[in-house]
Amino acid sequence: MGRKDIITKEYMEDTEVFADVFNHMIYKGEKVIDPKNLKELDTANVIIPYGANGAEVPYQKYRDVFKILCAMEDENAVYLLLGVENQSNVHYAMPVKNMVYDSLEYAAQVQKAEASHKKARKEKDPKEKKPDSAEFLSGFYREDRLLPIITVVVYFGADSWDAPRSLHEMLIVQDESILSLVPDYRINLIAPGEMSEEELEHFTSNFREVMQFIKYSKDTEKLSQLVEENTAFETMDRKAVRVMEEMTGMKIEKEVEEEKVNVCKAIQGIEERGRAAGRSEGIQIGAEHEQRLTKSLLKDNRIDDLKRALDDPAFRQKLLEEYGID
């Protein structure tokens, strides 16, 4: 898992942000999903294939593709949140990947129901009914029901999403007679570059400011105006600021000890930055050093040191010297 993966996943696991994303997608910003009711799920469960005990390994590739996966549930649904970090990582098979995730999670629910019934029968629970032959064979009783799976893809790029958004778009055949018999599968996508100001206002957490910052990251004038006019940028959470930095390539100065960051003040010290090709040689060298340090720390499994280095320039410099990066 790379630097961007770590920063983004840590940010999206915040229940306030997580609930905000799904309240926007499902309820147009109305606060229906309560962060307090969300329970984190082990994402490893998502890869367990139905009816194939011990066959997890072939499905490992799906987790390798999406290293930023957060999963939670409440009494109404299971929510899966996938993060796509930048333009280079737009996934052109996203509908199929999402479909696999959702299908495996439904399969896991079926297995969970079967295990629950077996346990109840073994313990002779008086509340457990005697299954008929069909129920016993499937392990899933007539009265059993599944929680709906809702997956949202968050694209952390300023450009438009140019990959397929549905299974039908990926098929070589476009004959309507054939397609009518092929169930379609559409992705639920959040792409800041495509969202209107009205849509962005649906968000009530600092996810709104993160999306706005990314949306206008390539327009210095609009970005400066946004930051200056929105007081929320004066007290931004550090995790949110890290995401803004990593996804835009901007360096936002932060006080080491402070939990909140004044982006309004920091952005005044940021020199005009264009696209990656227009960055200065010094910035490019600095980015290369950061990448080399990140790879070295990940290779040595020094995750805690990597997190500390994000906020402590002196400690980061010490690590650079330790690995001989100059």
pLDDT band at 161 (very low <50, low <70, confident <90, very high): very high
- Per mean pLDDT, which of 45-59, 163-177, 241-255 is the most reliable? 163-177
Which pLDDT band holds residue 285 (cuts at 50, 70, 90)? low
What percent of the chain has pLDDT above 70?
80
Q: Model confidence at 194, in pLDDT bands (50, 70, 90)?
A: very high
What mean pLDDT do residues 82-97 have? 67
SS3 content of the chain, % helix, strand, coil (to 5): 55, 10, 35
Looking at the predicted structure, is the pLDDT value of residue 62 above 80?
no
The residue written with tokens 């906020």 in the block is 311
Which residues are within 8 A (CB) of 98 and not within 5 positions of it... i.e. 6 or more apart? 82, 151, 153, 185, 187
| DSSP class of 30 | -
CA atoms within 13 A on the CB side of 131: 18
- The one-letter code for the residue type at 118 is K
What is residue 243's DSSP assignment? H
* Model confidence at 88: pLDDT above 70: no
Element (H, E) at 25: helix 15-27
pTM: 0.73
Mean pLDDT of 186-191: 93
**Can you tell me whether residue 213 is helix, strand or coil?**
helix
**Residue 153 near residue 84, CB atoms below 8 Å:** yes
Q: Give the Cα separation of 303 and 294 in Å (integer).
A: 9
* Per-residue buried b or exposed e for 80-100, using 16+ beta carbons within 10 Å of the residue's own CB: bbbbbbbbeebbeebbbbbbb
Q: Determine which of 86-95, 196-205, 215-224, 243-252 has the lowest per-residue pLDDT on average.
A: 86-95
Between CA 10 and CA 32 the distance in angstroms is: 23
* Confidence at 315, pLDDT banded by 50, 70, 90: confident
Which of residues 27 and 51 earns the better pLDDT score?
A: 27
Q: How far apart are alpha carbons 26 and 33 in whole angstroms?
A: 9
The answer on pLDDT for 83 being more than 80 is no
Between CA 96 and CA 186 the distance in angstroms is 9
Show the CA angle centred on residue 10, arms to residues 33 and 195, nearest 5°. 60
Can you give the pLDDT at residue 51?
A: 39
Q: From CA 252, how far away is CA 311, in angstroms rounded?
A: 11
Per the CB < 8 A criterion, the answer to whether 76 and 16 are in contact is no
Alpha-carbon span 190 to 279, nearest angstrom: 28
pLDDT confidence band for 84 (50 / 70 / 90): very low
Stronger pLDDT, 191 or 73, i.e. the higher one? 191
> Is residue 205 exposed (0-12), middle (13-18) or buried (19+ Cβ within 10 Å)?
buried
Strands (E) located in the chain: 39-40, 69-73, 78-84, 149-155, 188-190, 236-237, 260-261
Banded model confidence at residue 205, pLDDT cuts 50, 70, 90 = very high
